[in-house]
A and B are shown apart, each in its own frame.
Chain A
Amino acid sequence: MTVWLALDLLLAAGSLALAFGVVRARRVFTAIALFIAHGLLLTLAWVRLDAVDVALTEGAIGAGLSGVLLLAARHRLARVGAGRVAEAPGRAVTIAIGLGCAAVTAALGYAVLALPDPAPSLAAEVAASLAATELGNPVTGVLMVFRGLDTLLEAAVLVLAVIGVWSLAPDRAWRGAPGAPWTVVEDGPLALLARLLPPVGIVVAVHILWVGADAPGGKFQAGAILAAMGLLAWLAGLARVPPTASRPMRATVAAGPALFIAVGLAGLMFQGAFLAYPEGLVKPVILLVEFVLTASVAAALALLVLGPPSADARP
């Protein structure tokens, strides 16, 4: 029983306890608070699994932005009234569901324990081809070069999600500013934090983006931090979000995926394969795409957390 194994078991036990707390919580607020804490423990678990890029993303998006989103939604639901809520299943059905879920867990656990022993891995192929990408971080290499199509589709999914969230606005609120109205306290502690933190946050985000080429980091983590800084400024009333009709904002959200698709089509025309980077220009092209994508991802994440334009917003 080494120290590291004890640490892993402690993290797992804490995460499990928090998950039970989430499911059994009586109030939604308690569940969300425990969920955020669970996300933070999972961030440590990802570090223990030697997936530091995933840890950064889980901390920023999984625990941070998801927590803000859910808390804001809970606040709005508490004000508006939750409306018709489905009935909780009866006791017998609950026990049956519990047994079913326990069976799923047992099957998954057995699968985890029965994983093949010389574990199949693509690490050797990635290591062999990484030198050609001039990147030092293999995860960035996989994201931007080897499975660049996945990243392009992921950025497109974010744009589609923004469109989907905006289209849920009621007709009379269409083209208004996103986000429900929020009572703002001028010059409170939140305003102080919102004045002090964004400059630091921007520097940290740019650093994480830049360092992501050779060390854990990258555009999604940087975009999440930028989105969080923007949301902080909005929460404190120090910044106003442009309305959904604003063309520059729509252009920012669309610019990243559009550039990525353009680079892909250029690769198709000049190199013969979609998303083939030009020889000798691999790293500059990747960096350019990453910069523009960071802005797009940050804008999209912030808009997703803000939500659709609200009917009772001030004009």
Chain B
Amino acid sequence: MSGTVFGLLGAALVGIGLFGMLVRAQPLMRIVCFNLLGSGVFLVFGAVARRGAGAGFAADPVPQAIILTGLVVAFAATTLAVALVLRLADDEDEAPR
């Protein structure tokens, strides 16, 4: 049951994050909404992991490991995106058009 509830939550978060990413104009808001989108995707995967319980494990360990990897890689992508946003803002600041 937890799997279904949080899987549906993940689907909702994907929609909300996607909407925020496309509609909000500030770059940092877009990055925050991208992280929301990512957390929704991970939750859907987590629901799959929960449903794959068996052999004495409460949740399938392989999707869990993949979600862990995804979390760290998404964080690395976020830091790169934030650094790009800051550098673009610095350049705009130095060379006003």
User: How many A residues face the partner with a CB closer than 8 A?
Assistant: 98
Known: A101-B16, A112-B44. A88 touches B69 (CB 8 A): no
Interface residues of B, dominant DSSP: helix
Q: A164 at the A/B interface (Cβ < 8 Å)?
A: yes
Closest chain B residue, CB of each to CB of A303 = B79
CB-CB < 8 A to B86: which residues of A?
A: 73, 76-77, 80, 168, 307-308
Query: Are A123 and B16 closer than 8 Å at their CB atoms?
Result: no
How distant is the Cα of A109 from the Cα of B10 in the complex, in angstroms? 8
CB-CB < 8 A to B62: which residues of A?
A: 122-123, 126, 142, 146-147
CB-CB < 8 A to A89: which residues of B?
A: 22-23
* Partner pick for B43 among A5, A42, A142, A146, CB 8 A cutoff: A42
CB-CB < 8 A to B52: which residues of A?
A: 119-123
* Partner pick for A308 among B29, B53, B87, CB 8 A cutoff: B87
Closest chain B residue, CB of each to CB of A160 = B76
CB-CB < 8 A to A66: which residues of B?
A: 35, 75, 78
How distant is the Cα of A230 from the Cα of B16 in the complex, in angstroms? 34
Query: Are B32 and A22 closer than 8 Å at their CB atoms?
Result: yes
Known: A22-B33, A73-B28, A112-B4. A62 touches B76 (CB 8 A): no
Contact indicator per residue, chain A 38-65, by CB within 8 Å of chain B (1) or not (0): 1100100110111101100110011001
* Partner pick for A54 among B9, B13, B64, CB 8 A cutoff: B64
**Closest Cβ–Cβ distance, residue A115 to chain B (whole Å):** 6
Most buried by A among B68, B84, B93: B68
Residue ranges of B at the interface with A (Cβ–Cβ < 8 Å): 1-20, 22-29, 31-33, 35-36, 39, 42-44, 46-62, 64-69, 71-73, 75-80, 82-93
Q: What are the 5 tightest A-B residue pairs by CB atom distance, in nearest-first order?
A: A105-B15, A83-B92, A121-B52, A108-B11, A112-B7
